Amino acid sequence: MTFLTKETFCMKDKITFKFSIAILRRVFLNALFSLIFFSISARAQEIEGYMFLYGEVGADYISDVEIPSLGKRGGNIAFSLGTFDIIAKIAYGKAEGFVEIPITPLNTLYVEAPIWSSIWFERFYFGYNFSELFSLKIGGTYGAMGYLTRNWHRAYYLMPIVRRPIITNAEDEGGVLPLYATGVEASGETSIGEFRPGYIFQVINGNYHFGSDDFLDYDKERTFLGKIYIRRYLEEIGISLGYDPFRIPTDEGESIYVQNLIAGLNLSYVKLDGLIGLAEVFIIRDLQSKTQGGGGFLILSYPIFYADEIEFRPFLQFGFMDWQEGNPFFEKLNEGAEEVRLNYVSVGPGTVKHFEYAGGIRIGISPNFAVKLGINYYDIRDEKDLYYISVRAGWGIPVFGR
């Protein structure tokens, strides 16, 4: 994946970036060929699983953005190649393997146009289901933080909204939550009538902004995440907890030690042919500076028309983020907000103190294709407000399943 680093907090330097991309491309091709082989021989090998292709393209009008390489600032229309997402799962008996590979055009400060240079493993793990109450996964998963990220991942086609709430942005997009989880995950659940209580516990590499990447944990810290929940079909009430220690390097060659304690609450009501309601809130407290920050969101969506597989589903979205002065984590990420805003047009203004108001409509043309129209308005404290007017076209295509 592309991640924030000590130097830029938004991108690797050019040499390391190109080297990592070359490695990931080779791994991507090997993984893809392996998945194709398994898919072809699935019946003979008695392997179960699936493969889906997701994608989205579109355009955004951004009310105010600075493009240093072009010497331009102001309103701008940006056409986006979106994300092409490959998701595949293979299971044999109690063992399973999973891979998600997004291919994303990354706009960089070194070029004047987007380039197809971001190919990485969003998720890649091997797991074994010992029992209903205990499963073990080793590799890359999503952090046990809330509902939206672990259920909607990067397949924007699945979401009724145009862009995710800023609190759920990934680390490479300037996000504040530990959403990329490379390490070990234990999970399990049981059934009590129509309810399914369960848990998730993770021991993963350190903070992706300042402590680790997909391959190395270079500050020797570990992040611990956990979640307990009760589900009923696609509905869920969950509580997330986390401990995320790391060091932020300073210009003087020293570092600031941060110990983030994370607490989150999520409520979800999901009816695929009816109301979708998601509410999540997170508090992140640094035990060293004794300051805290956080954010949350509310999403509501309901179909107003459905006939012959055509669905009109309006949505409303509200979000916020704030933090106390003197919090080194939030303030450091805020320094890179302008760069995130440029490099990742689809994710919004980055880590800023704000209130977000959004609305629009998702038009499902078939079970595999949808168009979305929306506007996101960000009331940003101490900065000029921003709004994005967006058009998206997305698809989800099943390739294999049994």
Answer yes or no: are the C-beta atoms of 386 and 378 closer than 8 Å.
yes
Residues 6+ apart with CB under 8 A from 29: none
The string of DSSP codes covering 162-223 is: SS--GGG--GGGT-SS--EEEEEEEEEE--BTTBEEEEEEEEEES-TTTT--SS--TT--EE
Lowest mean pLDDT among 91-105, 213-227, 276-290: 213-227
State yes or no: pLDDT of 2 exceeds 80.
no
Q: Range of 241's domain?
A: 14-401
Residue 75 within a domain:
yes
Residue 263 within a domain:
yes
User: Which two structure tokens, joined as six digits, stand for 327?
Assistant: 């919090």
pLDDT of residue 40: 54
Residue 7 within a domain:
no
State yes or no: pLDDT of 78 exceeds 80.
no
Q: Which residue type, as a one-letter code, is found at position 240?
A: S
Could you tell me the CATH number of the domain that includes residue 68?
2.40.160.10
Residue 80 within a domain:
yes
Residue 171 within a domain:
yes
| pLDDT more than 90, % of the chain | 47
Give bridge partners of residue 307 from the DSSP assignment: 310
pLDDT of residue 373: 95
Residue 4 within a domain:
no
Residues 6+ apart with CB under 8 A from 386: 62, 63, 64, 348, 349, 377, 378, 380
d(CA 116, CA 103): 7
93: confidence class by pLDDT, cuts 50, 70, 90? confident
pLDDT of residue 380: 93
Residue 2 within a domain:
no
Give how many domains the chain has, as a whole number.
Answer: 1
Residue 6 within a domain:
no
Helix, coil or strand: residue 216: coil
284: confidence class by pLDDT, cuts 50, 70, 90? very high
Residues 6+ apart with CB under 8 A from 16: none
